[in-house]
Structure 1
Amino acid sequence: MNFDGIYLAGVGTHLPPSVTTEEAVRTGRYTEEAHEASGLESVAVETSLPAVDMAVRAARTAVSRSGHQAQDFLGLLHSSTYYQGPEGWSPAHYILLNTLDRPISAHHVQHGCLGVLAGLQTAALRLAASSDPDAAMLLTAADNFETPLVDRWRSSSMFVLADAGSSLVVSRRGGFARLLAMDFVSQPGMEAMHRGAEPLLPPQVPVSRVMDFDARLEHWRLKWAEGGAIPLGDFGELIADSVQRTLAAADSSLERVTRIVHNGFNRDPLSVFLLDPLGLSADRGTWELNRRIGHASVSDFALGLEHLWNTGQVRPGDQVLMLGFTTGMEAACALLEITSGPEPVR
C-alpha cells in the first residue's frame, strides 16, 4: 500500500541505563555461552520507571520536535507487548492525559513487536481520510520487563529483552520523513509456534508461570522428534514477500534503500531471519545500536530511526526501510524517505 502526503513529524525515545552482558554473566543472570553467541554488549534495564511513564517521556519529546500543538491531534495509539498496569485499565488514556490532555480517542494496539508499524498504518489511514491539513496522530510504545515473571536474559535464545519507551508523531503537514509505502503479510499456520502446549482456557494464574518462549518452541521440537506434525513455514519467504510488495508500491528497490531499521534480535537470528533472506549485511541495518540495547520489543523501530537520523547516518533524499516480524507469524515493513536533518544543537 502506498501513501501520499503522510509524514513523520517527530520522534522521541526514553532509554534507561544499560547493564553490560559481562556483568550479567558475572552475576549469574546470563551464561557465557549465550553471551558469546548473542554478540550483545549491553542491555537497557529500567528498574523504577513504569512502561507508561517511559512512553510519556518519549511522547513529550516527539511532540516538541514535531511543531504540532495539542489541538492538531486526532488520536493516540499506544502499543506494547507486556504488562502496562492493572487489568481492565487503559494505559493509552493515562499517556493521553499526561501528554496532550485532550478529549480525543486513545487506543491500545497489541500486535507484538510490530505494534508501532500497525499503529503507523492505522494513523496514516486515519490522516488520509481527514480534510484538516494540520492533522496529526500520536504513536507511543513502551515495555518494562523488570519483573520476576520475565527472565529477560533467558526467555528466548533469539533475543534479550530490553526496556524502553518511544513515540512518533504522524502528520499531514510535513516532517523529517515521508511515508512512501507499507505492507503486512502473515503465515497464520505458524501461530502455534509461540503457543506451545499452554491451554487457552481457563486463564492461567500469572504468578504460576514465567514467560518462556524457548519452552514453547521445545514442545514442538519434541513433537517433531516423535514424528508428529509441526507448524513450519518458510519465514524468509514471508519477509522477502513483504519487502518486495512495499518496494513495488513505492516504485523503489533495495538498491535505492540506504539503511534498514529492524528488530533488535541477537546477531545470528537477525541474520538468518531478516537480513539473509534479502541478501543484506549487518552494516546496512542498526546492529551497531541494537547490540548495545537488546530487543526493546515495540520500541526497536523508533529507536533505530531516531539513531540514524540524529547521528546523520541518513540524510534528505535517503530511503529507510523499517522491517520486522512478530508472533503469528507476521512480517511487515514501512518505507520512508528522509526529508530533513535534525535541528542543530544550540
Structure 2
Amino acid sequence: MRTPETFLSGVGVYLPDTVSIEQAVAEGRYPAGLVQLHGLAGAAVAGDTPAPEMALRAATLALARAAHPPTELDLLIYASSWHQGPDGWLPQYYLQHHLTGDGPLSLDLHGCNGIFIGFELAASYLAAQPDRHAALLVAADNFGTPLFNRWQGGGASYVVGDAGSAVVLTTTPGFARLHAVNTVTISDAEELQRAGEALFPPGATVGRTVDFVARGEVFQKQLTESGDLATLARIGGELLDLSHRTLAECGLTIGDISRIASMNCARPVTDHLMASLGRTLADSTFDWGRTVGHLGASDQIAALDHLVATGRLRPGDHVLMLGVGPGVIVSCAVVEIVDIPDWPAATHG
C-alpha cells in the first residue's frame, strides 16, 4: 500500500538498562554454548517499570521532537505483545489520561507487527478526511513476569528485551517519509504459537508458563507427520516476496536500501535473512539489536531511532523495515530520510 504524503515527524524511545548475556549465563539463564554462535550480547530489562509508563515516556519524547501538541492528535494506536496491566483494562487510555486528553480515536493492537498494522491504519485514517493531520503510534512491553523466560522463551532465535517506542505520523513534512507499507498473512501457520495447548481456558488465567519453543516443536512434528513441510517455508518466502513488491511500489530495488531493520534475532537468523535479500549482516541493525534483545513491537522504531541518533543515516537514504509476528503475518515498510533532525537526547535507563 502506497502512503502518499505521510511523514514521520518525531520518534521516541524509552530503553531501560541492559543485562549482559554473560550475567545471564552466570545465573544459569542462558546456555553458555550459544553465546559465540548466536552473537547475542544482552537484553534491556525494565524491572518493575510498567509497559504503559514506558510507552508514555517514549510518546512524550516523540511528540516533543515532532513539536506537536499532544492534545492535537487525531488518532492514537497502542501496540503490544505481552500483558500490559490489570485484566479488563486497556493501556491506550492511560496515554489519553496522562498525555493526549480525550480527543483522538484510540485503538489497541496486539503482536510484534503492531507498528506495521498501525502504519497502515493511521495512513488510511489520516487520508480519509482533509482535517486529520497527526497520529501517534506507540508500542511497549515489559516481559519480566513469572510466566515467561526472557532468556530462553524464544528458543535459539532471540532473547527478549523491554522497551517503549513511539512515532508521530503527520500529513505535513517531517524528518522522514513513509513511502509504503504492506502485510501478508500465512494463516496455515497460525498454530505455530498455540500447538499443543488448549484454546480454553487461556494459559494466563491458570498460571501456565509460556513456552514458544515447545509449541513450535509440536507444530513441526505435526507438519512432518502430515507431510506438509511447505507451511513453515512459506513464511520466509512470503517475507522476501513482500519486500520486493513493496520496494517496487516505491520504484526501488533492494540495492537502493541503505539499512534494513528487522526483528532483533540471533546472528544466524539475521545472516540468513540478509543473504536471502542479497545483502550482508553489515546492512542490518544486528550490531545494535544484539545488545537489547527482541523488543516486542518496538524493534523497528527503536532501530530507526538508533540509526538517526548515531549518524548512520543521511538525507535520501532509504530504510527497509521488516517484521514477522503471530498470525503468522509478515510486514514490510519503506521509509526515506528527508532531513537529519536536531533532537533532544533519548531517555535510556
Counterpart residue type for residue 85 of structure 2:
G
- With over 3 angstroms needed to count, the CA separation of the structure-2 counterparts of 1:344 and 1:226, relative to structure 1, is closer
Residues 62-211 of structure 1: matches in 2 within 5 Å? Answer: 62-110=62-110, 112-132=111-131, 135-156=133-154, 157-211=156-210
CA distance in 2, matches of 1:232, 1:254: 24
Amino acid at match of 1:182: V
Tell me, in whole angstroms, the C-alpha distance in 2 between the residues paired with 1:326 and 1:345.
32
Structure 1 residue 292 and structure 2 residue 276: aligned?
Answer: no
- TM-aligned CA deviation for residue 227 of structure 1: 6.1
For 1:264, give the aligned amino acid.
N
Measured after TM superposition, the shift of residue 270 of structure 1 is 2.0
**Are 1:215 and 2:214 counterparts?**
yes
Shift in alpha-carbon separation, 1:127–1:284, aligned structure 2, 3 A: same
Q: Deviations over 1:300-322 (max 9, x none)?
A: 01110011111111111111111
Indicate how the Cα distance of structure 1 residues 221 and 323 shifts in structure 2: closer, same or farther if over 3 A, else same.
closer
Aligned pairs for 1:255-274 within 5 A:
255-272=255-272, 274=273
Change (3 A) 1:320 1:229: closer
Which region of structure 1 is more displaced relative to structure 2, 98-107 or 245-254? Answer: 98-107
Task: Report the CA distance shift for 1:344/1:48 in structure 2 as closer, same or farther (over 3 A).
Answer: closer
Written as runs of structure 1 = structure 2, the 5 A alignment for 1:204-283 is 204-223=203-222, 229=228, 231-272=231-272, 274-283=273-282
> How big is the shift at 1:68?
1.2
More displaced 10-residue stretch of structure 1: 199-208 or 49-58: 199-208
**How large is the RMSD of aligned CA atoms in angstroms?**
1.8
Amino acid across the alignment from 2:196 = A
Larger mean CA deviation between 58-67 and 257-266 belongs to: 257-266
1:165-213 Cα shifts (integer Å, max 9, x gaps) = 0000000111110011111112111111221111112333535311111
Cα distance in 2 for partners of 1:91, 1:262 equals 25
How far apart are the structure 1 equivalents of 2:142 and 2:343? 32
Q: Corresponding residue for 2:321?
A: 322
1:334 partner SS: strand
Give the match for residue 338 of structure 1. Answer: 337
Letter in 2 for 1:34: L
Count of residue correspondences:
343
Structure 1's unaligned 5+ residue stretches are none
State the TM-score, normalizing by the size of structure 2. Answer: 0.94
- 3-state SS of 1:220 partner: helix
Identity value in percent: 37
| Structure 1 letter corresponding to 2:2 | N
Report deviation, 1:71.
3.8
Residues in 2 aligned to 1:299 and 1:223: alpha-carbon distance in whole angstroms? 32
CA distance in 1, matches of 2:233, 2:189: 7
Ranges in structure 2 where 5+ consecutive residues have no aligned partner: none
**Cα distance between partner residues in 2 of 1:312 and 1:205:** 42
Residue 130 of structure 1, CA deviation: 2.5
For residue 119 of structure 2, what is the amino acid of its counterpart?
L
Residue aligning to 2:37: 37
Question: How far is the alpha carbon of 1:4 from its aligned partner?
Answer: 1.2
Shift of residue 228, structure 1, vs aligned partner: 6.1
SS at match of 2:161: coil
Aligned-partner Cα distance in 2 for 1:87–1:5: 38
CA–CA distance in structure 1, aligned partners of residues 165 and 29 of structure 2:
27
CA distance in 2, matches of 1:122, 1:223: 35
CA distance in 1, matches of 2:64, 2:100: 11
